[in-house]
Amino acid sequence: MTDEHYKLALDKAREELTGLLTQRQEIDRRIMNVQRSIEGLAALCDESTDISDVLSSISHIEVSPMVGLTAAIREILKGARKPLAPTEVRDELTRMGFDVEKYKQEMVPIHNTLKRLEENVEIFPVKNAEGKTIAYKWIQPEARILALNASPNTFPPGHEMNYIITKLREKK
């Protein structure tokens, strides 16, 4: 194979990965919506919102009774329709049944987790006019892929993609 063949194969693999990540994002969003529907309907029927029995009926999926804080926050931000403030993340954790009261100061681990996700370029900080972070937004996988192959000059000044490109390059 020539270099040109390798480059074509690489382009095709990147295109396939982008498509698969887009599908996974849509599936994750649909799962979150169905889980919310189950919670609402279960409350109306005065039934449990536990879905582990549904998941355990699928042999290849193992149900973990304990979801970690980081994983829970990732799922919340992935499913959010708008950027969320740390207190909104806490409220959503509570709504999901996550025991935030086990922490003496419940906001500390939430803030620490959000900072770590920001450092890993998984979330984008939304800042107010003074430059203070007021909310966080999930960075879509497609945006990460695009950022890895783009230069900061591609986007207008202040565009969120410039932040993603810069942060990803700093991590290298």
Candidate from 28-42, 107-121, 149-163 with smallest mean pLDDT: 28-42
Instruction: Mark out the alpha helices in the chain (DSSP H runs).
Output: 3-44, 52-56, 69-79, 86-95, 107-119, 141-148, 160-171
Structure confidence at residue 67 as a pLDDT band (50, 70, 90): low
Residue 101 · residue 84 · CB < 8 Å: no
Q: Where are the domains of the chain?
A: 1-58
Q: Find where tokens 């919506």 sit.
A: 33
* Mean pLDDT of the 54-73 span: 56
pTM exceeding the 0.85 threshold for the entire prediction: no
Copy the structure tokens of residue 71: 């994983």
Q: What CA–CA distance (Å, rounded) separates 129 from 139?
A: 21
Helix (H) or strand (E) segment spanning residue 126: strand 123-127
Q: What CA–CA distance (Å, rounded) separates 46 from 124?
A: 38
* Mean pLDDT of the 92-108 span: 86
Q: What CA–CA distance (Å, rounded) separates 64 from 80?
A: 23
Residue 41 · residue 48 · CB < 8 Å: no
